[in-house]
Structure 1
Amino acid sequence: GKQWSAATKKKLIDLPATEPRDPDHKILAAAAALLHSHGREKAETLAHKILEEAAPLGRGTVGPEPTMSALLNHQAERVVLDTRFQASGWTCEKCATVGSGGTPRSCPLCDGRIHSAELSEEIVCRAASQGVPLYFTQSFPPILKAGGIAAMLKYKTTAQPRPPGNIR
């Protein structure tokens, strides 16, 4: 193996309870959780911003369905996920579509085979593959009430008319 310098060794972070044989997504989820645990305050601030400012203006999504949809459509800029977020869903092995809620017999888009999936893992993987920053809150009531997940969008999705005279 490669020899690491003492300075580099200090920078290496031990991943909690992962094995090299673990599936990539499990290792990825552990790495993401570790890297972002120190950013909890940032995550809570972002969660407030999305829930109170962005979502009402069509610049944010709240809850698993719209957030997953934004990720699938490459519209998500930043995603906030509570560590207690748990939602089961499904993924299509043919077209890689992801859905939440009840598992259909076959993919509604391409009729491909469906597998049940843990949505938090799918979301972490999708976000990582798109380079979308993930922020993790820990048992944060405002985001848990909102479904445990929210996203800031790259641009406004629904064109809502602006009330006149409200230019900032």
Structure 2
Amino acid sequence: MTNYAHILNGVAVDVSADPDNCFHPALANVFVEVPDQVTHGWTLNGGQWVAPAVSAPTPDESTAPVESGNLSPTPPEFLLLLTLQERVAIRAAGPTDLVIEDILKMLDDPRVTFIDLTNPSVVEAINYLTVTEPPLLTAERAARVLKGLPVAA
């Protein structure tokens, strides 16, 4: 089977076995015969056809899988996102820190059926725990909690 290619700046931009039936006549006229292995992207270099270099994909934030857990845990499920030490330290700080006291009151309110970890007020409350003196959560732990992820094993 004979292949034909439309070559633009030394690169096969279109490849077809039958350009006359696949392309407008004005475009089909620019196709030239190429070896059968030539496909889209091959380069004509010094009279030799070269396949395009294939590079290994590099993981980046846009393609890496995003780890996420339950973003609407019940209050007990939310508390279990914290370690025992973190829960005890947060409860111990409640009587002397009005913000923490407010957070604990909301968690203990029987009308609260879930915690929306995407709610800006909840995000602010969790991030507050990273700036207390001493910090009750590290920034890494706060980020994990806000993703609904339990303590890493």
TM-score (ref. length: structure 2): 0.24
TM-score (ref. length: structure 1): 0.23
More strand by share: 1
Rg larger in structure: 2
